Amino acid sequence: MAVVVMKFGGTSLANLDRIRNVAAHVKREVDAGNKVAVVVSAMSGVTNQLVAWVREASLLHDAREYDAVVATGEQVTAGLLAIVLQSMGLKARSWQGFQGVEPASNRIATLGRGGSDTSAVAIAIALKADVCDIYTDVDGVYTTDPRIVPKARRLPKVSYEEMLEMASLGSKVLQTRSVELAMVHKMKVRVLSSFVPPDAMQPVMIGHLENIGTIVCDEDEIVEQQVVSGIAYAKDEAKVTLLKVEDKPGVAARIFGPLADANINVDMIVQNVAPDGKSTDMTFTVQATELPRALEVLKQAKADIGYFDVAASADVVKVSVIGVGMRSHAGVAAKMFKALAEKGINIIAISTSEIKISVLIDAAYAELAVRTLHTLYGMDAA
């Protein structure tokens, strides 16, 4: 007998037929003698609608009331699934879904978009589950988004660290926090498709998790490690350039201090000597949704920073190459820059860590860049 947490995403629960399909996946596990906890998302599109209503009601809304409204989507699917499971003769009861409780007020709280992934992992840890199965609309984690690159390949296994980078750099197949939590507690997470017929899948058996989907696990459980495992892209960044900033000590602090005080995260930073040779141009990225606030903060700090003008654009995309193999292989970056140059793609900014390289480019080149790099590192499916 295994203890299994099963999480189903919005597309998998989009209507009653699909909820019945989900129930059949659950029944397969229960019939095999496994102990099951299920975590559900809201029906696809519902959370977007709820968020839109909240914003329409007031742009500056109370966060607790946002949570109260947005948490209702999961309550619907949890209740409906419990009803369907009961009608199949299973003992089922619904509880609160991607929600949690805000400790101070005892009111309902949510874990952000994609938060049911994190609920599922947290519940799996609390129940000491043998596996946390994330059922979605693709049959695993791919080398890159399979909807952009048809030649993307499914990864049978991916390390926590690589998955964490992929998620935080734009591969929204798992919420970043869910991967973080799984990594800290060494919870095995599997990504599977709910669209495989329920009776075509074997029930979970401890020690036999490897034939389908993707297992997110420790690096040393992966025998065949590639230098580059995946490519991610994120369209939600915006770039800001401060033109002709006085080039003197302390200027970076005067720019990034006020932004930090306003809780605005700065990601990539590049500094160039300005054409006049005396000043410097400072380019950096922020979340596109934070751009108006960032510009306001910079305007207020203009006299203190001492710059000539500011330019901003949200037409940029961050493309990242990820792989733990980069720790021991040189030349991954050089190869990347050369390949992009050959396609005429200009790099606006670069950032690196031990296991990833990110470049900021014009949004128009996003797909070309992802496809080029996918081929370059030998990831295309045959």
Sites of contact with ligand ADP (CB under 6 A): 9-12, 41, 114, 136-138, 141-142, 144-147, 171-173, 230
Nearest residue to Mg ion on Cβ basis: 114
Minimum Å gap between C-beta 158 and ligand ADP is: 9
Q: Residue 42 or 217: which CB sits closer to Mg ion?
A: 42
Q: Which residues contact 75 (CB under 8 A, 6 or more apart)?
A: 94, 96, 97
- Residue, CB closest to ligand ADP: 9
Minimum CB separation of residue 124 from ligand ADP in Å reads 16
Nearer to Mg ion, 114 or 213 (CB): 114
Residue closer to ligand ADP by CB (options 18, 27) is 18
* Residue 110: CB minimum distance to ligand ADP, A: 15
Of 37 and 240, nearer to ligand ADP (C-beta) is 37
The 3-class secondary structure across the chain, one letter per residue, is CCEEEEEECHHHHCCHHHHHHHHHHHHHHHHCCCEEEEEECCCCCHHHHHHHHHHHHCCCCCHHHHHHHHCHHHHHHHHHHHHHHHHCCCCCCCCCCCEEEECCCCEEEECCCCHHHHHHHHHHHHCCCCEEEEEECCCCCECCCCCCCCCCCECCEEEHHHHHHHHHCCCCCCCHHHHHHHHHHCCCEEEEECCCCHHHCCCCCCCCCCCCCEEEECHHHCCCCCCCCEEEEECCEEEEEEEEEECCCCHHHHHHHHHHHCCCCEEEEEEEECCCCCEEEEEEEEEHHHHHHHHHHHHHCHHHHCCCEEEEECCEEEEEEECHHHHCCCCHHHHHHHHHHHCCCCCCEEEEECCEEEEEEEHHHHHHHHHHHHHHCCCCCC
Instruction: Name which of Mg ion, ligand ADP, none residue 323 binds, using a CB cut-off of 5 to 8 Å depending on partner kind.
Output: none
Residue 138's binding partner out of Mg ion, ligand ADP, none, with CB under 5 to 8 Å set by partner kind = ligand ADP
Return the number of the residue (135 or 284) whose C-beta is nearest ligand ADP. Answer: 135
Residue with smaller CB distance to ligand ADP, 121 or 255: 121
Please state the closest distance from residue 354 (CB atom) to ligand ADP, in A. 20
What, of ligand ADP, Mg ion, none, does residue 97 touch, CB below 5 to 8 Å by kind?
A: none
CB atoms within 10 A of CB 296: 11
Q: Which residues contribute to the site for Mg ion (CB under 5 A)?
A: 114
**Angle, CA of 313, 236 and 159, to the nearest 5°:** 140
Nearer to ligand ADP, 189 or 301 (CB): 189
Number of Cβ atoms within 10 Å of the Cβ of 6: 26
> Taking the complex as a whole, how short is the minimal distance between the CB of residue 172 and ligand ADP, in angstroms?
5
Nearer to Mg ion, 146 or 323 (CB): 146
User: Least distance (Å) from ligand ADP to the CB of residue 144?
Assistant: 5
Q: Which is nearer to Mg ion, 114 or 146 (CB)?
A: 114
Least Å distance between CB 180 and ligand ADP? 16
Pick what 248 binds: ligand ADP, Mg ion, none; C-beta below 5 to 8 Å, kind-dependent. Answer: none
C-beta of 44: minimal distance to ligand ADP in Å?
6
Distance, in Å, from the CA atom of 150 to the CA atom of 169, rounded to the nearest integer, reads 20
In the complex, minimum distance from the CB of residue 158 to Mg ion, in angstroms, rounded to a whole number: 16
